[in-house]
Amino acid sequence: MATKKKKLLIVESPTKVKAIKKFLGNGYEVAASNGHVRDLPRSQMGIDVDHGFEPKYITIRGKGDVLASLRKAAKNAEHIYLATDPDREGEAISWHLMTALKLEDAKDRFSRVTFNEITQSAVKEAMKHPRDIDMNLVDAQQARRVLDRMVGYEISPLLWDKIKRGLSAGRVQSVALRIICDREDEINSFIPQEYWTLDAALKVKGEKKPIVARYYGKNGKKVDIASKDELNAILKELEGKKFKISEIKKGERVKKAPLPFTTSTLQQEASKALNFSTQKTMRTAQQLYEGIDMGKAGTVGLITYLRTDSTRVSEEAQAAAQKYIVDAFGEEYLAEKIAGGKNTAKIQDAHEAIRPTDVNNTPVAVKEFLSRDQFRLYQLIWRRFMASRMAAAKYETTSVKIDAGEHRFTVAASRTVFDGFMNVYTDEDDQIEKNTLAKRIDENSELVLEEFEEKQHFTQPAPHYTEASLVHDLEALGIGRPSTYAPTITTILARHYITKENRNLYVTELGEAVNRMMNDAFPQIVDVTFTSTMETLLDGVAEGSVKWKTIVENFYPDLQSAVEKAGKEIAKVEIQDEVSDVVCENCGRNMVIKYGPHGKFLACPGFPECRNTKPYYEKTGVMCPKCGKDIVLKRTRKGRLYYGCIDNPDCDFMVWQKPSVKPCPRCGGLMLIKNNKLVCNDPECGYIGDKDTDE
Q: Tens of pLDDT along 469-513? A: 999 999 999 998 888 999 999 999 988 899 888 889 999 888 998
CA gap 633, 620 in Å, rounded: 7
Q: By the 8 A CB rule, do 652 and 646 touch? A: no
Domain CATH for 423: 2.70.20.10
Nearest Cα residue to 351 out of 304, 295, 410, 408: 304
Residue 438 lies in a domain: yes
- Confirm whether 274 is domain-assigned: no
What is the predicted pLDDT for the residue at 343? 43
What pLDDT is stored for residue 362 in this prediction? 96
Q: Residue 39 in contact with residue 99, Cβ under 8 Å?
A: no
Positive or negative: CA dihedral 420, 424, 430, 433: positive
CA–CA distance, 478 with 300 (Å, rounded to integer): 34
| Residue 202: strand pairing partners | 211, 449
Answer whether residue 642 shows pLDDT above 70.
yes
- 293 lies in a domain? no
Count of residues in the chain: 695
Do residues 53 and 553 touch, judged by C-beta distance below 8 A?
yes
Question: Cα dist. 90→141, 422, 483, 580, 599 in Å?
Answer: 9, 37, 12, 55, 40
- Please give the Cα distance from 172 to 538 (Å, whole number): 13
**pLDDT band, residue 595 (cuts 50/70/90):** low
Whether residues 610 and 626 share a domain: the answer is yes
Report whether 559 contacts 150 (CB < 8 A): yes
- Pick the range with the lowest mean pLDDT from 93-107, 111-125, 318-332, 333-347: 333-347
- Cα–Cα distances (Å) from 219 to 246, 255, 431, in that order, read 13, 33, 33
Backbone angles phi, psi at 94, to 5 degrees: -60, -40
Same domain assignment for residues 397 and 249: yes
pLDDT reading at 3 higher than 70: no
Work out the average pLDDT over 526-555.
94
In this structure, is residue 508 part of a structural domain?
yes
Which residue range forms the structural domain that includes residue 607? 578-690
> Residue 182, SS3?
helix
Distance separating alpha carbons of residues 409 and 249, to the nearest angstrom:
14
Strand blocks (E) in 493-562: 498-501, 504-507
d(CA 506, CA 464): 7
Q: Read out DSSP for 44-67?
A: S--EETTTTTEE--EEPTT-HHHH
Instruction: Tell me which of 370, 388, 406 is where a domain ends.
Output: 388
- The CA distance from 254 to 336, in Å, is 13
- Residues 470 and 436 grouped into a single domain: no
597-637 confidence digits (pLDDT tens) = 556 788 998 888 898 988 878 788 899 988 888 898 887 77
Of 200, 198, 235, 197, give the one whose Cα is nearest residue 451: 200
Report whether 111 contacts 81 (CB < 8 A): yes
- pLDDT, position 465: 96
CB contact set of 476 (below 8 Å; sequence gap of 6+) = none
User: How far is C-alpha 249 from the chain's CA centre?
Assistant: 40
What average pLDDT score do residues 46-56 get?
94
Question: Which amino acid type is present at position 614?
Answer: K
SS3 25: coil
Residue 682 has pLDDT above 50, yes or no: yes
Say if residue 311 is in the same domain as residue 331: yes
Question: Is the preceding peptide bond at 363 cis, omega within 30 degrees of 0?
Answer: no
Q: Which CB contacts under 8 angstroms, 24+ apart, belong to 581-588? A: 582/614, 584/610, 584/612, 585/612, 586/610, 586/612, 587/612
Task: Please indicate, yes or no, whether residues 69 and 114 belong to a single structural domain of this protein.
Answer: yes
**Does the bond joining 649 to the residue before it have cis omega, within 30 degrees of 0?**
yes
Residue 56 shares a structural domain with residue 121: yes
Classify residue 227 by its DSSP letter: S
- Residue 284 belongs to a domain: no
Mean pLDDT of 105-118: 88
CA atoms of 243 and 443, how far apart (whole Å): 11
Residue 618: CB atoms within 10 A of its CB come to 12
Higher pLDDT, residue 168 or 340: 168
- What is the predicted pLDDT for the residue at 345? 40
Final residue of a structural domain among 407, 438, 458: 458
Question: Which residues, in sequence order, are CB contacts of 491 under 8 Å at separation 6+?
Answer: 168, 170, 173
Q: Is the pLDDT of residue 379 over 50?
A: yes
| pLDDT tops 80 at residue 581 | no
**Quick one: DSSP state of residue 630?**
E
Q: Please state, rounded to an integer, the average pLDDT across all residues of the chain.
A: 89
Cα–Cα dist 645/663, whole Å: 17
DSSP letter for 627, please.
T
Query: Could you tell me if residue 261 is inside a domain?
Result: no
User: In this structure, are 366 and 430 located in the same domain?
Assistant: no
According to the model, what pLDDT value does residue 1 have? 42
* pLDDT at 687 (0 to 100): 87
User: Residue 432: what pLDDT?
Assistant: 47
What is residue 396's three-state secondary structure?
strand
Q: What share of the chain has pLDDT > 70, as a percent?
A: 93
Report how far residue 644's alpha carbon sits from residue 659's, in angstroms, rounded to the nearest whole number. Answer: 10
Domain membership of residue 507 (yes or no) is yes
How many C-beta atoms lie closer than 10 Å to residue 640's C-beta? 23
What pLDDT, in 10s, does the model give residues 225-266? 999 999 999 999 999 999 999 999 999 999 999 999 999 999
Interval 448-452 mean pLDDT: 94
Q: What is the pLDDT of residue 338?
A: 65
Assess whether 129 and 15 both reside in one domain: yes
What's the pTM value of the predicted model, to 2 decimals?
Answer: 0.81
Residue 691 pLDDT class (50, 70, 90 cuts): confident
E strands of 338-406, at which residues?
A: 393-404
Backbone angles phi, psi at 145, to 5 degrees: -65, -45
**Domain termination site, one of 458, 489, 505:** 458
Residues 446 and 555 in one domain: no
In this structure, the answer to whether residues 421 and 450 fall within a common structural domain is yes
Residue 692 has pLDDT above 80, yes or no: no
Q: Tell me what the mean pLDDT of segment 41-61 comes to.
A: 94
Q: What is the CATH number of the domain that holds 382?
A: 1.10.290.10
Beta bridge partners of 579: 592
Separation CA 122–CA 111 (nearest Å): 17
pLDDT of res. 325: 97
Tell me the mean pLDDT in the region 359-381.
Answer: 96
Closest CA to 404 of 204, 172, 153, 219: 219
- Cβ atoms within 10 Å of 629's Cβ, excluding its own: 15
| Domain tally, the chain | 5
Identity at 560, one-letter amino acid code = Q
- CATH number, position 65: 3.40.50.140
CA 546 to chain centre: 30
Q: In 63-134, where does DSSP find H-type helix?
A: 64-75, 88-100, 120-127
Distance CA 421, CA 417 (A): 13
Tally the C-alpha atoms within 13 A of residue 59's C-alpha that lie toward its C-beta: 13
Q: Considering only residues 465 and 108, tell me which one the structure prediction assigns the higher pLDDT.
A: 465
Contact between residue 265 and residue 497 where contact means Cβ atoms under 8 Å apart = no
State the maximum Cα–Cα separation within the chain, in Å, rounded to a whole number.
109
For residues 380-393, average pLDDT: 97
| Active site (annotated) includes residue 305 | yes
646: exposed, middle or buried (C-beta count within 10 Å: 0-12, 13-18, 19+)? middle
Considering only CA atoms, which of 272, 276, 303 is closest in space to residue 287?
Answer: 303
CA distance 310 to 261: 8
Options 81, 305, 485, 617, the catalytic residue: 305
Closest CA to 657 of 676, 669, 641, 637: 641
Same domain, 666 and 596: yes
- The pLDDT tens digits for 427-445 are 766 554 455 565 667 888 8
Which residues have a Cβ under 8 Å from the Cβ of 152 and sit 6 or more positions away? 168, 169, 170, 171
CB 169 within 8 A of CB 652: no
* Number of neighbours of residue 239 by Cβ within 10 angstroms: 7
Q: Same structural domain for residues 381 and 325?
A: yes
Question: Which domain CATH number covers 529?
Answer: 1.10.460.10
Q: CA-to-CA distance for 310 and 453, rounded, in angstroms?
A: 49
- For the beta carbon of residue 384, count every other beta carbon within 10 angstroms: 26
Residue 118 DSSP symbol: -
In a domain, 59, yes or no: yes
